[in-house]
Structures are given as C-alpha cells and as structure tokens.
Amino acid sequence: MKTKEQIALQEVESESIKISGAEAVIRCLLAEGVDLIYGYPGGAIMPVYDELYKFQDELNHVLTRHEQGATHAAQGYARTSGKVGVAIATSGPGATNLVTGIADAQIDSTPMVCITGQVGSHLLGSDAFQETDIIGISTPVTKWNYQITKASEIPEIMAKAFYIARSGRPGPVLIDITKDAQFDTFDFSYKKCNLVRSYKAVPPMEMDQIQAAATLINQAKKPLIVFGQGVILGEAEAEFKAFVEKTGIPAAWTILGLSALPTDHPSNVGMVGMHGNYGPNMLTNECDVLLAMGMRFDDRVTGNLDTYAKQAKVIHFEIDPAEVDKNVMADIAVMGNIKETLTKITPLVEEKSHTSWFEKFKEFDAIEFDKVIKEELNPSKEGLSMGEVLKEINNASGGDAVIVTDVGQHQMIACRYAKFNQSKSNVTSGGLGTMGFALPAALGAKMGAPEREVVAIIGDGGYQMTIQELGTIFQTQAAVKIVVLNNDFLGMVRQWQQLFFDKRYASTEMVNPDFVTIAKGYFIDAQRVTKREHLADAVQTMMASKKPYFLEVCVEKENNVFPMIPSGASVSDIRLE
C-alpha cells in the first residue's frame, strides 16, 4: 500500500502533468505527513478548499467556528502529537483572526503552519475586498512568513515553512497565497527542505562548555534544576530523567515544563513562579548552582531580576542563542539540542543524593501544605474550591489525562495540583496568557492524542471567549471533557483587585448564562454541580463518558490562589496568604 506521501508525489511526478497551485498546496501538506488541518473557508482561499473537497479521504479538514479556534486547535494538536499543527483561513478578517493564536504559538514555541488566502496579485495594495496586509501584521509574531504570488513557488516555500516551523526552537510560520497563484498551473515536484542557508536551527554543541558545566554540577552543594518546555520539545524526557536521577538534584518546573517529569517523581519539587510552590521559589535564592534547562526566565518565573538567584552560578541549557543572557546572565551556556547535550553530560556527572538539601524543600512543603494546600484540597468552607475539583479529576484520571487549561485562577490551580504520569500532558497558554485558548486547544489536543483522555479546565470568563467551538466539538464528536470552574468572576483579575486595588472590583463580576443549557443546545451531555457531595460522582460520570461531556462546577466566588509572588517582587517574597 502506498503511503500518503507517495500518493502526493507519485501520480503527478510520473505523468508530469500541470497542476494548480491549490492542488499543489494539498499535495505539499500530504508530502509533509499532514492528515488533519483546522480552518475556515472564504473567498480568497476557495480554490484550496475546492481541492480539499477532492482530497477529503486523505486530508481531514475540521471546520472550526472561528479562525482563532483553528489556530488554538492546531496548537493543541501540535502540543500533544509533537507534530506541526496546520490552520488555514481566507484573507482579510480570516487572516487577522489567526493573529492571537499565532502570537500564542510564537511565545510558547509551538510548531504551526498557517496558510491564508490573499486577493489576486494584481489587486495587492488596492484595498480590494477582504485585502489585508497579513504579512505586515504577522511579521512580529511569526518565526517566518512569506507571500506567494506565483504557483511555481508553492512547493519550495511550503517545504521551507514546515522545516522552519518544526526545527530548532519551533514556532509559527504563515504562508499567504494570492488567489491567482492558487489558480495558476505549473509542473509540480516536491523536495523536503532540510537546509536554509541563513538559518541555523540548532547551534553547535561545545564539549568544553559541557565539561565546565559537569565540573560545576559535581562541586555543587545545593543545586537546583528548573526545567521548561525545551525538555518536551526536544523529546528529551528520558535523558532528563536519567540526568535528574543520577545527579540527585531537586527539579522544579515552569508552567510549560510541567509533565516533562512525572509529578510524583521523588526528585520533582514542584513549580516555580508567581503561583508556584513555596520551596522551589524560596530556595531559588539559596541554591548555589541553578540549572536552567530549556526554559527562558520569563518574568512570571523570576519576579524581580535584581534579587533573583544572585548567589547562584547559572548553567543555561538552551537551543536559542537569543535567550542566553537575555534576562539572567549565564555563567555557563550549554548550547544545542537538549537531548544531545544531556546525553553528553550525564556520563560526566557524579552520582549523588543531596539528602539534606532535599530536606529543606520538604520543610517548605510542610509549611505550604499547612497554610495553603490543606484548605484548597479539603476545604472547611461550604463552597467548593477549585483544588478539590482537581483532586477528583486526579482520582478519576490516575494522572494519565491530558489537562488543557485556559488562563487565570483555574489555570494556576490546575497546574499546581494536576497529576501527570507522562509528557506532553499539560496544554496551556503560558507566555501569552490567552483567554479562550482552552476549548479549541482541547479539541486539537484530543485529535493529536485520540487514545488519551483529554480534560479541559476553563474559567467562566475564558470559556465565553471561544464558546462557539462547542459547535466544532459537537460536529467532530471529539470526546473532550470540558470542566468549567464557575465563580461568576474574572477570578484572577478580581484577586489582584482585592489584593492590590483595595477591592475595587471594576468590571470583573460576570452575569453568566445557563452553561448547561448551552452545552445541551449543542447536544453535548452536561451537568452542573453546586454541592460537594455530588462532585466525585459527577467527575466519574464525565470521565466514564465516551462522548464529549460538559461539567460546570460552581465554586466559591472569592477564593484566591496562593502562594503568590506579587508582580515585581522577589521570588523569596512569596506570600502564603
């Protein structure tokens, strides 16, 4: 049997017939191994949609209800599958609606190719119907973008787009194709791209830096690892685990690094950052060597840079040279693909256990448990907490589910308390903080890992930003489990208003619709929980369902997420209440 890639190439190449640019787009996608794309049709992309109709057995197109949904779905797909997500839209508003998802993919290093239709090349610059300068608009938020005005450019540019999107530090690429380039015919041939002369995907590994890092690690008395999404994107989970276990160094995760190491792993000491755990944040300012692995010292991780880990020597494992010394100066930069650098460094490090250093983390854990976690997971108040919902989801999933979160309090609670046994399980909008991300991303996540349970956890605010994607979930019947933690507030903003703006709750209270009725309107099974005694059963029912399922949990209206490092404060000024 011929593979899809072969189908894409053989038929046309052997007969040497001319095909249209639009057909070439489809054949390029197939040649890149794409079998699923998300999008929304419209005037300037219609020739490509016409070809999609002809190729519908080979290439599944999911019609989202908004182009933003297509990008987030493509992101979710990329994050769980490790493949390049593809989103397609028409010119003008179709293209501009992609921008939020593209910016999100750029800041969270998600491989994505977006294809947009454009008005005919003779109309460019004439303010034609649905003309917009999407190249100009998307330039600052894409890894690369290109406007195709001739059909013959399509194979080379598409090959380049996929290579650039997935190689090195991944990111979004946008290809804009004028309508005449979609219609014109040309002799098609396709060659995969593996080199762009002006682009070095991975900087060369330097053995002396690795040796120097190993020496420093071996001398360290109180080392701390902070690992980010680089470990996941580099598919270096096994190498990372081996390194952690041999060196015996406590390892803390950034929000996007979550699930690279199982949450129950004995060396896993929790999350760093604004709502991270007490121990790793406090001890960042006590460690003697800080190993930053595939992370970029985001301000939500570091707090005030002037007081961040000043006592520590910093070793930065990084693939992107622009990240080194950007926020935190590195004493040693270990450049390269982290899978390779870890493979090289692990034999050079000594086997250790750092037992008394770990004890310090446990001391802080005990304080945090007492002051925060105990009440969050087993509330003494009547109202439900977000934490206890997570606890029930953990009980039902056993840590095997993919958790997709939106942005806000529910996101922080989910990332703090969700259990993960395997990698590529935490899908969230980290860098951009895009409300509305979760619902479409969960659809994509499920399609990227159909064998896995996917649970979306969303706040009542973000849910309503892309609620229309319930239609896509209904139409595809992707068995996504949707949990809305409803506190009738834009909770995180309200928390800031309470703590830093003297409880002036400006425009954060929401009068919400009947979410259960809305879900049922889309023929999605749904229920609402308002009381603790019904929670466990409701979560079990949802998880047992083989279909999409919606669960609204009405939680305490004015709970806060702690610990918290106030914006601009030091990591060691973390507040527990």
Partner 1 sequence: MEATQIFTISIYSENNVGLLNRISAIFLKRHINIRSLNTSPSEIENVFRFVIVVKMTEEKVKKVVKQLEKQIEVIKAFYHTDEETIYQESALYKVKSDSLFDERHIQNIIKDSHANIVTVSRDFFVIEKTGFRHETEKLYEDLAPYGLLQFVRSGRISVTKTPMEISDILK
Catalytic positions, please?
67, 129-130, 179, 492
The smaller minimum CB distance to partner 1, of residues 135 and 516, is found at 135
110 binds partner 1 (CB under 8 A): no
CB of 200: closest distance to partner 1 in angstroms? 9
CB of 111: closest distance to partner 1 in angstroms? 14
Stretch that binds partner 1, among 26-34, 196-204, 349-357, 406-414 (CB under 8 A): 196-204
321 binds partner 1 (CB under 8 A): yes
361 binds partner 1 (CB under 8 A): no
Q: Which of 558, 562, 460 is nearest to 518 (CA)?
A: 460
Contact, 114 vs 90, CB < 8 A?
no
State the pairing for strand pair 185-187/18-20. Answer: antiparallel
CB of 335: closest distance to partner 1 in angstroms? 12
CB of 322: closest distance to partner 1 in angstroms? 4
Whether the link from the prior residue into 563 is cis, omega within 30° of 0, is yes
The smaller minimum CB distance to partner 1, of residues 50 and 156, is found at 156
367 binds partner 1 (CB under 8 A): no
**Subset of residues 125 to 184 that bind partner 1, contact rule: CB under 8 A:** 135-136, 139-140, 143-147, 164
Q: How far apart are CA 253 and CA 436, in angstroms?
A: 24
In this structure, how many other beta carbons lie within 10 angstroms of the beta carbon of residue 518? Answer: 18
Contact, 327 vs 347, CB < 8 A?
no
Q: Which of 112, 38, 115 is nearest to 75 (CA)?
A: 112
80 binds partner 1 (CB under 8 A): no
Helix or strand or coil: residue 289?
Answer: strand
CB of 135: closest distance to partner 1 in angstroms? 6
The smaller minimum CB distance to partner 1, of residues 144 and 463, is found at 144
Tokens of 399: 């840590």
CB of 163: closest distance to partner 1 in angstroms? 10
CB of 199: closest distance to partner 1 in angstroms? 5
Tokens of 384: 């439900």
Residue 325 phi/psi, 5-degree rounding, is 65, 15
Stretch that binds partner 1, among 193-201, 345-353, 387-395, 437-445 (CB under 8 A): 193-201
Which one of 1, 194, 204, 322 is in contact with partner 1 (CB under 8 A)?
Answer: 322
Per-residue three-class SS string for 343-385: HHHHHHCCCCCCHHHHHHHHHHHHHHHHHHHHHHHCCCCCCCC
**Subset of residues 326 to 345 that bind partner 1, contact rule: CB under 8 A:** 326
The smaller minimum CB distance to partner 1, of residues 167 and 385, is found at 167
Q: How far apart are CA 519 and CA 522, in angstroms?
A: 5
In this structure, how many other beta carbons lie within 10 angstroms of the beta carbon of residue 49? Answer: 18
Q: Which of 298, 370, 292, 382 is nearest to 338 (CA)?
A: 292
Q: Which of 309, 344, 315 is nearest to 332 (CA)?
A: 315
CB of 287: closest distance to partner 1 in angstroms? 25
Number of residues engaging partner 1 in binding (CB under 8 A): 20
The smaller minimum CB distance to partner 1, of residues 110 and 147, is found at 147
The smaller minimum CB distance to partner 1, of residues 51 and 323, is found at 323
222 binds partner 1 (CB under 8 A): no
CB of 571: closest distance to partner 1 in angstroms? 23
Tokens of 339: 């899978």
Query: What DSSP designation does 313 have?
Result: E
Stretch that binds partner 1, among 69-77, 195-203, 219-227, 308-316 (CB under 8 A): 195-203
The smaller minimum CB distance to partner 1, of residues 66 and 143, is found at 143
325 binds partner 1 (CB under 8 A): yes
Per-residue three-class SS string for 452-479: CCEEEEEEHHHHCCCHHHHHHHHHHCCC
Tokens of 224: 């701390």
The β-bridge partners of 178 are 118
The smaller minimum CB distance to partner 1, of residues 194 and 355, is found at 194
The smaller minimum CB distance to partner 1, of residues 196 and 207, is found at 196
**Sequence-ordered list of residues with C-beta below 8 angstroms from that of 18, at least 6 positions apart, any chain:** 185, 186, 187, 188
Tokens of 377: 């997971």
Which residues are at the interface with partner 1 (CB under 8 A)?
A: 135-136, 139-140, 143-147, 164, 196-199, 320-322, 324-326
